[in-house]
Amino acid sequence: MRIFTLLMLLCLVPIDLSAAERIGPVPIGSEKNISGDFTQKRVLTGFDQPFITTGQFYLLPKKGLAWIVQEPFASQLIMTDHNIVQVVNGVAAQMEGADRVAKIIMNMIHPVLVGDWKSLQQDFDIKEQSIVKKTLEWRVVLMPKHDALTATLAKLIVTGRDKTEALTILKPNGDRDEIQFSAQKVVDEPPAKALELFQISEVK
C-alpha cells in the first residue's frame, strides 16, 4: 500500500510541475462553451469615478460571444464573425459603427479566456509573461502589432490562475478597461438562453 501511495505521489509530481510552468488557464479545448460573470471597470481620465458594468457572458465557439449587461442598465451585445448586434428590450440593432478595433477587442475575449496566445499573436506581440510559482498566478502583457490598433490600444494585460481572471485594456491617452471574469463554467452543450440571444441577433 505504501508503495502504491508512493507511486501515486510520484505520478502527481509531473502534474504539479506542469501547472507551475503553465502560463495561461487550464486548457479546455477550443470547442468548449464557456459562461460566467463579468465586472467591467472603465476608468476614463478626468472622471473621478470609474464606470462599472456587471453581467454575464456566454462564449460559444461556433456562434460567438453574448455579453449580457445587467447593471447599470439592461442590454445585450451579441457578436458573431460578421457583425455586432446590440439588443435592448428585445429589439436588435446592428452596430454599424463597430469598426475593426472594436471587433478585435470583442474577438479577443475567447482566446483570452482559453489562453489561446497563438491566436492573439495575430494582432498582438507578447511582450512579457510571468508566473508566481507560489500562487500559480500568471500574467501576460501584449502589445498591438498594427498601426490601426496602436492608435487606439496601448497594451493588454491578461492575468489568472486555473482560469483567466482579468483582462486590462490600456489606451494611449491613459483610459483603461478592467474586466474581471468570475464563476466561469465550461459546458459541452450551449445553454438555451444563450442560443436564444443568438437567434434574436440572426433575425436582425
Partner 1 sequence: MKRAAFIWMVSLALLLLGAGISLWTGQTRMVSDITSLFPQEHETSLEALALEQSGDQLSRNIVVLLGHSQEFVVRDAQSRLKADLVKIDHIRIKDISRKSLENLQNLQAGAIGSLASWDDYTALKKGDGMPLIQRALGAFYLPGSLINSDQIHQDPLGLYQRFLFQMSKTMGQTTFNGEDGNFYGQIVVTLSSEKPENVNAVDLLASIDLALQKLQSNVPDLQLYVIGSPYYARAIAEISKSEATTITGFAIAGILILLLLAFRSVQSIVGAVITISSGVLCGAGATVLIFGTVHVIAIAFGSTLVGVVVDYAIHFYFLRRADENAHQTAGRIRSGLFMAIGTTVAGFCALLFVDVDVLRQIAIYSVFGVLGAGASVLIVLPVVPGAASTKNKPLQPTSKMRLFHYRWMTPKRVPIMAALAVILLVLIGFGRLPSDDTVQNLRVNTPQLSKAENLIARVGGTAHTRLLLIKGTSDQEILQREDQLKKYLSQNAAGTSMLGVSSIIPSAARQSETCRLSRALLKTDAAQPLLKLISHRVEACGVLKLTDTSWSQLPDFVQQLRVNGPEGQAHMVLLSGVGPGLDIQGLTDKLPFISELNVASHYQDGFSKMRQRATIALVIGMFVMVVVFMLTFGLRRGLSAVIVPVFAALSALTVAAFLGSGLTLFSVMAGFLVFALGADYSLFQLAAHEDDEDRAYFAVGLSSLSTLLVFALLSGSAIPVLQSMGVVVVVGVSIAWLIAPVACTKFEGESV
Q: How far is the CB of 115 from partner 1 (least distance, A)?
A: 18
The amino acid sitting at 79 is M
Distance CA 16, CA 38 (A): 29
- Give min distance, CB of 185 to partner 1, in A: 20
Containing H/E element for 186?
strand 176-187
- CA-based end-to-end distance of the chain: 64
Whose grid coordinates read 442598465?
73
| Burial class of residue 181 (count of CB atoms within 10 Å of its CB; 0-12, 13-18, 19+) | buried
CB of 110 to partner 1, least distance (A): 13
CB nearer to partner 1: pick between 44 and 200 = 44
Give the shortest CB-161-to-partner 1 separation in angstroms.
22
Please identify, using beta-carbon distances, which residue of 122 and 130 lies nearer to partner 1.
122
Nearer to partner 1, 110 or 131 (CB): 110
Residue 30 vs 130, nearer CB to partner 1: 30
C-alpha cell at 85: 448586434
Q: Supply the minimum distance, in Å, between the C-beta of residue 56 and partner 1.
A: 13
Positive or negative torsion for Cα 23, 26, 30, 32: negative
Q: Which three cell numbers stand for residue 160?
A: 489568472
Q: Least Å distance between CB 19 and partner 1?
A: 29
Chain centroid, CA 114 distance in Å: 8
Instruction: State which residue, 27 or 72, has the beta carbon closest to partner 1.
Output: 72
For residue 158, the Cα-to-chain-centroid distance in whole angstroms is 9
Residues in touch with partner 1 (CB under 8 A): 40, 42, 44-48, 51, 53, 67, 69, 72-73, 75, 77, 81-82, 84, 86, 88, 93, 96-103, 105-106, 109, 122-123, 145-148, 150-152, 171, 173-175, 177, 179
* CB closer to partner 1 out of 28 and 106: 106
Please report which residue ranges of the chain form alpha helices under DSSP H: 2-21, 100-107, 109-114, 117-120, 147-150, 192-203
